[in-house]
Structure 1
Amino acid sequence: MANIRVLEAFSGIGAQAKAIANFQKAKQKFFEIVATIDWDARSIITYAQIHHNVLLEVEKILEENQLSSPEKINSFLKNFELSLDSKRPSKIISKDLSFKKILVASIIKSKNLGSITNLNLEEINSLSPDFVTYSFPCQGLSIANMGRANGIFDKNSTSSLIWNVYSLIKGLKNKPKYLLMENVPNLISKKFISQYKKWKETLENEGYKTFTATLNGLNFGSIQKRNRVFAISFLKEIKTPFESDIEFEKYILNLGQDISTDFDKRKQIFQSIFNFDSNNSENAGFLINATPSRIRMIEQAEKINESKNFIIRTLTTKQDRNPNTGIIKFENNLADKLNYRFISNREAFKLMGFENSDFEKLEPLISKNILTKESLYRQARKFYYSNNSRSTNKFNL
């Protein structure tokens, strides 16, 4: 059987790559990631380090691609629109040479095609992807932005980038057999359901049938109470084991039965993720400043170390606000710090399905400040349900 050729749009740090790796650990190779699409420079670096250990071969990659000089590195980067905060384009050329070398090597190693707004369709056609994944930005849909959230038709919102996915699909000579979308539940709320139906109609006109379900991470090996909307699209001629959204949701929930988290499983996962040791120097870096606003925040925040059911709130991109994922008791004698801390970057990654070994690969980049605390929270937030990959073969892809 030929490999399924995967194109990861909005690839971030590799949610799909991680899920595929989990699925293929004890099996023959089933998927092949032929390219990624993302413009967040630090996410590209994280992806390449976690999945390819890029730091071990930066100089080798640059030499093989005749990119050893600063001039050639700058010339290469000018072909890409990249961002340092995932919100606006950045002048990457002004970054120091060490950062740029790692970024260039990461782009090459992860087969990154850059921003979805500026793709080379001829190049993508040559890759012949069978499966396109697109976890597009939720800014225009999120409840946290409800005052400004206008959905996928708002050109001022990054959620409108979903239409670049349409341009990609429409521009492919051989249509991918499968599409997979993930986003916040608000996408199918009363406010935005008409927009989502329009998206499904657009896919239908391109030859796809789409099935949609809202899934909770608790049913798929996570301890987060994290609801997400998933939509899978098939070319119409492909036979599927379900014929409606209701059947699709039941089918997926049935597949997840063996990894759903009961009390004992949640407790085990909880204890493997969180470290409540007040002598841990890494955790000390996440102490909360002693200010009036933060004192009010901790009064309202959920105390993770006091959890009785081992269920955690959804991970947020910013912890220094309320609501957040929760806070942890951390006794200390520092006058300018409270006796609480935020969850650490390591805990955030593990909460989203990564392993210690994944995070340890990032430590050299963290120590050099190439990866910042803020960027790591943002990256972890995009990662979803890597543990539910083990039933992929039951779709008969």
Structure 2
Amino acid sequence: MLKILELFGGIGAPRKALENLNIDLKSIDYVEILPHAVHAYNQIFDHSYKPQDVKTWNMNVDLLVHGSPCQDWSKNGLNNVNSGRSILYERTLEIIEKELNPRPKVVIWENVPGLISKRHVEHFNHYLSTMERLGYKNNFKILNSKHYGTPQNRERIFTVSLLEDKNFEFPKEVELTRTLKDYIDTTIDVTDYELSENEKSLFFERDGKMYIRENNKTGFREVKEFDSVNVERPNSKTRRGRVQDGMVATLTTSPNIAVYYGNTIRKLTPKECWLLMGFTEKDYEQVASVGLPKAALYKLPGNSIVVTVLEAIFNELVKQDILQI
């Protein structure tokens, strides 16, 4: 049986991925400070966890997966990384060094690619060097969820650290067989998902085709059936109006992404966002049934890890005989 610990656990993407692979597991613990995320996790996995602050927690585990807050590492991050949320990865290092005995065989850290930018790479290098000092061999790579079965253009850096001196081969990219069309509910009442007048002004029809004015380019671009468009990026001159062919751009905690089909242009629903992160309709319905506000139902998947990417990583860890199940 595989024993796991989820730090900054969100809505449980690592556990969901392992369960999808039919891996026999025991959740040693799950640590998350955001009440809505804990509530959602409990609904999906039928638990009664309470919010816990990773800064005050300790427990012995075998496998650790963490995705510490990434806002400070993003391109638009404005917080001081030395005092903000993202520096909490230091607490994970402290837990591994002082509170886990034996140390986990595998530690996985997921974060935004901005972590390895010139501005922030010193923190990434500090993480790597500390893990090496603790006996780990690090492997890292930027993976895009559109290459692992989910039509979302979402890049994240995954660091897989192994306690044994062994290389990890990241999963190979696979051809995308499902497009955004497969995730869109064309039967819903679009009233609650209509665009604002300002957002509608980006679009126009000509000769029976739909077009959009792109902020980052001169002229305009055709929007085809089941393409998506970023419709509201107040502080961005490059993303507003950007079209994704048959997929969506990176889902955030407050996504402003429109989808076009037939004569309809509307925003994604919370359920569609959950599905595009690899969760099931049942997962969403269980969480939504207890009355979480719409803003929370959008925020939770935007903070998560794409389940299908984790499935690919876990599958390789098993195939390469790094994790024994």
Is the shorter-chain TM-score for this pair beyond 0.5, marking a shared fold? yes
Amino acid at match of 2:151: I
2:62 equivalent to 1:130: yes
Amino acid at match of 1:215: L
Seen in structure 2, the aligned counterparts of structure 1 residues 295 and 231 have a Cα distance that, compared at 3 Å, is: same
Question: 5+ residue gaps in structure 1?
Answer: 55-105, 243-247, 332-338
Look up the match of 1:234. Answer: 162
Q: Determine if contact 2:136/2:165 at 8 Å carries over to the other structure.
A: no
Q: Alignment partner for residue 53 of structure 2, among 110, 115, 123? A: 115
Higher share of residues assigned strand: 2
Q: Determine if contact 2:32/2:52 at 8 Å carries over to the other structure.
A: yes
Deviation digits for residues 131-186 of structure 1 (CA, Å, limit 9, x no counterpart): 111101111101122xx2554xx21x210111111121122232222110000011
Look up the match of 2:252. Answer: 316
Q: Alignment partner for residue 71 of structure 2, among 135, 139, 162? A: 139
2:138 equivalent to 1:219: no
Deviation digits for residues 62-98 of structure 1 (CA, Å, limit 9, x no counterpart): xxxxxxxxxxxxxxxxxxxxxxxxxxxxxxxxxxxxx
Shift of 1:287: 2.2
Look up the match of 1:274. Answer: 184
Q: What are the residue-to-residue correspondences of 1:19-30 with 2, within 5 Å? A: 19-24=17-22, 29=24
Look up the match of 2:302. Answer: 381
2:103 equivalent to 1:201: no
Deviation digits for residues 1-41 of structure 1 (CA, Å, limit 9, x no counterpart): xx2211100101001111011111xx6x1x22110000110
- For 1:345 and 1:201, the matched residues in 2 are separated by 39
Q: What are the residue-to-residue correspondences of 1:255-270 with 2, within 5 Å? A: 257=173, 260-262=174-176, 265-267=177-179, 270=180
Question: 5+ residue gaps in structure 2?
Answer: 204-211, 215-220, 228-243
- For 1:16 and 1:130, the matched residues in 2 are separated by 14
Shift of 1:297: 6.2
Aligned partner of residue 12 in structure 1, secondary structure: coil
Q: Determine if contact 1:8/1:35 at 8 Å carries over to the other structure.
A: yes
Aligned partner of residue 7 in structure 1, secondary structure: strand
- For 1:363 and 1:266, the matched residues in 2 are separated by 25
Shift of 1:194: 2.1
Deviation digits for residues 256-297 of structure 1 (CA, Å, limit 9, x no counterpart): x5xx234xx133xx23211233xx23x43222344x4x4456
Aligned partner of residue 117 in structure 1, secondary structure: helix
Shift of 1:239: 4.3
Shift of 1:359: 1.4
Deviation digits for residues 225-270 of structure 1 (CA, Å, limit 9, x no counterpart): 11110001111xx242x2xxxxx5xx3233xx5xx234xx133xx2
Amino acid at match of 1:385: V
Aligned residues: 286
Amino acid at match of 2:175: T
Q: Determine if contact 1:183/1:228 at 8 Å carries over to the other structure.
A: yes
- For 1:118 and 1:10, the matched residues in 2 are separated by 13
State percent identity of aligned pairs.
Answer: 24
Amino acid at match of 2:19: A
Seen in structure 2, the aligned counterparts of structure 1 residues 340 and 5 have a Cα distance that, compared at 3 Å, is: same
Amino acid at match of 1:381: G
Q: Determine if contact 2:258/2:266 at 8 Å carries over to the other structure.
A: no
Q: Alignment partner for residue 347 of structure 1, among 272, 286, 295? A: 272
Look up the match of 2:170. Answer: 252
Higher share of residues assigned helix: 1
Aligned partner of residue 194 in structure 1, secondary structure: helix
Give RMSD over aligned pairs.
2.5
Amino acid at match of 2:192: G
Q: Determine if contact 2:137/2:165 at 8 Å carries over to the other structure.
A: no
TM-score, with structure 2 as normaliser: 0.80
TM-score, with structure 1 as normaliser: 0.66
Shift of 1:328: 4.2
Q: Determine if contact 1:346/1:359 at 8 Å carries over to the other structure.
A: yes
Amino acid at match of 1:166: L
2:195 equivalent to 1:288: yes
Deviation digits for residues 337-372 of structure 1 (CA, Å, limit 9, x no counterpart): xx7421000000001101112112123213xxxx11
- For 2:251 and 2:73, the matched residues in 1 are separated by 17
- For 1:234 and 1:207, the matched residues in 2 are separated by 8
Look up the match of 1:372. Answer: 293
Shift of 1:378: 1.3
- For 2:38 and 2:135, the matched residues in 1 are separated by 32
Aligned partner of residue 129 in structure 1, secondary structure: coil
- For 2:226 and 2:51, the matched residues in 1 are separated by 45
Aligned partner of residue 126 in structure 2, secondary structure: helix
Seen in structure 2, the aligned counterparts of structure 1 residues 306 and 221 have a Cα distance that, compared at 3 Å, is: closer
Deviation digits for residues 81-116 of structure 1 (CA, Å, limit 9, x no counterpart): xxxxxxxxxxxxxxxxxxxxxxxxx32xxxx56011
- For 2:96 and 2:153, the matched residues in 1 are separated by 33
2:16 equivalent to 1:18: yes
